[in-house]
Structure 1
Amino acid sequence: MRRLTATSVIVLVTAAVSLAVTFFYGQNEAFMRAGFIPARASGIGTDFAAVPVWLTPLSSALLHAGVLHLGMNMLMLGYTGRDTEQAVGAKGIAILYLVGAYAAAFAQWLPDPQSITPMVGASGAASAVIGAYSLLFGRSRARDLGPIPAKAVHVLWLAAGWTAINLMIGYAFMGAGVAVAAAAHIGGFVAGLLLAKPLARWHFRIA
């Protein structure tokens, strides 16, 4: 029997928890109790939390605002995670996902530390995997830019492109009254860019 990959385990666990909350529990209450809330991370309004504040970047990744939100995140994670896991290993993909979740939460907290809007969804953590995938498997056409080597220019272009895309998406959805955690997506993606090569080297060194 073929063993499940770490990516598949993350997808299955996330889907199971998210669907259970969606169909059997009050979403709004779950979001307030287990979502990442910047104000709570700043020490404001911690009494209502069911999950310790320092764990909410992870618990929030298990919650989604409906089946479509869940499906989009898991599709992107499954697609990019499969190949990325081949390059960084099961431990590497777990590290990417965990660090990505915290990087996403920090990026969401940074512009508005007193926000009481809960952030939910695995897109920030998945963005770290997407960032690593983009760097490891994307074709680079970058050249040296003065003293900046081509490899660094490539990373900067990827970060700039992802940032621009997410800011435009966030702005577009804002007009429709839908909140998108664009900062979290950017924070997770940057974490993936920074971790991709070190994790790949570590994986092949211990393989």
Structure 2
Amino acid sequence: MNEIAPQGQRKAREPIFNVPATVAVLVGLMWAVQVAADLALDDYGLGALRIWFGFIPDRFVAPEQWPGGMLPLIWSGFTHAFLHVDYMHLIFNTAWLAIFGTPVGRRYGATGVLTVFLLGALAGALVQAAVIVFVVNQFAVLIGASGGVAALTGAAMRFIFEPVVVRRDEFTGEIVPVGRRTATLTGVFANPRSRAFIIFWMGLNVLIGFSPMITGTNIAIAWEAHIGGFVAGLLLPSLFDAMARGRQRP
């Protein structure tokens, strides 16, 4: 067998707490933004920060009511991922980021992590906007890394439950592990472990959608953005692997 390890993956096993530098930087940046805003901004300043850098779907339908009109939509689909409601929100998102960003970072490198995270954040924001504008017709400001983190979770589902690929070293004849296969989309749902995780994850997010009614709070969790990000992340490894195969061709 002469299999090739996916780009960015050099070893089949790594220490579980060996977080890639890109993931550590993302976590550190989110904490820096939260702490700086907490220390430097009053309520008015915090509101302005969220208006300019949070994602506001209402800008699509009533841009004249918001500072900057539609212009902040250029960046807020990404920047909302670095803002959080409070420290509990931040702790949960950065912990999940470290858990699922780590295997994606080891497999696809820094570029892969950033691509999945940022496109997942954007996909989550756009799905949330579509639901808010066309279905429920209500006001919301989307902040939090959940869409990007969900995308990393979706991307990880394509390989973390797959068998380890091995090859025979051409010089020593030793059988050595080189990584895990990327499952097809059909294969992800055929694998009992990844299928069970996805069903549990989706069910949990649908339940989260009812959390304001259950808890009596006025802060809704953007479960639609979670699902939008997850689906984007589930699709992206196919693109990464196709690009890697293209670079390997003479």
Bucket of the pairwise TM-score, normalised by the shorter protein: 0.7 to 0.9
The 1:153–1:82 alpha-carbon spacing in structure 2 relative to 1, beyond 3 Å, is closer
Higher helix fraction (1 or 2): 1
Shift of residue 78 of structure 1? 1.0
Match of 2:214 among 175, 187, 192: 175
The 1:85–1:31 alpha-carbon spacing in structure 2 relative to 1, beyond 3 Å, is same
- The reply on whether 1:13 has 2:29 as its aligned counterpart is yes
* Greater gyration radius: 2
Shift of residue 10 of structure 1? 1.3
Normalising by structure 2, report the TM-score: 0.69
Normalising by structure 1, report the TM-score: 0.82
Aligned counterpart, 1:143: none
- The reply on whether 1:163 has 2:202 as its aligned counterpart is yes
Shift of residue 189 of structure 1? 0.5
Shift of residue 64 of structure 1? 0.3
Alpha-carbon distance in structure 2 between the residues aligned to 1:149 and 1:94: 22
| Aligned partner of residue 194 in structure 1, secondary structure | helix
Match of 2:54 among 35, 40, 63: 35
Aligned counterpart, 1:69: 89
Shift of residue 57 of structure 1? 1.4
Unaligned runs of 5+ in 2: 1-17, 164-183
Alpha-carbon distance in structure 2 between the residues aligned to 1:59 and 1:164: 27
CA RMSD of superposed structures (Å): 3.0
Alpha-carbon displacement from aligned partner over 1:60-91 (angstroms, at most 9, x marks no partner): 11110111111110011011111111111111
Aligned counterpart, 1:135: 158
* 167-176 or 8-17: bigger deviation: 167-176
Alpha-carbon distance in structure 2 between the residues aligned to 1:191 and 1:102: 9
**Identical aligned pairs, as a percentage?**
27
The 1:3–1:120 alpha-carbon spacing in structure 2 relative to 1, beyond 3 Å, is closer
| Aligned partner of residue 121 in structure 1, secondary structure | coil
Unaligned runs of 5+ in 1: 141-147
Alpha-carbon distance in structure 2 between the residues aligned to 1:64 and 1:3: 22
The number of equivalent residue pairs is 199
- The reply on whether 1:105 has 2:125 as its aligned counterpart is yes
Higher strand fraction (1 or 2): 2
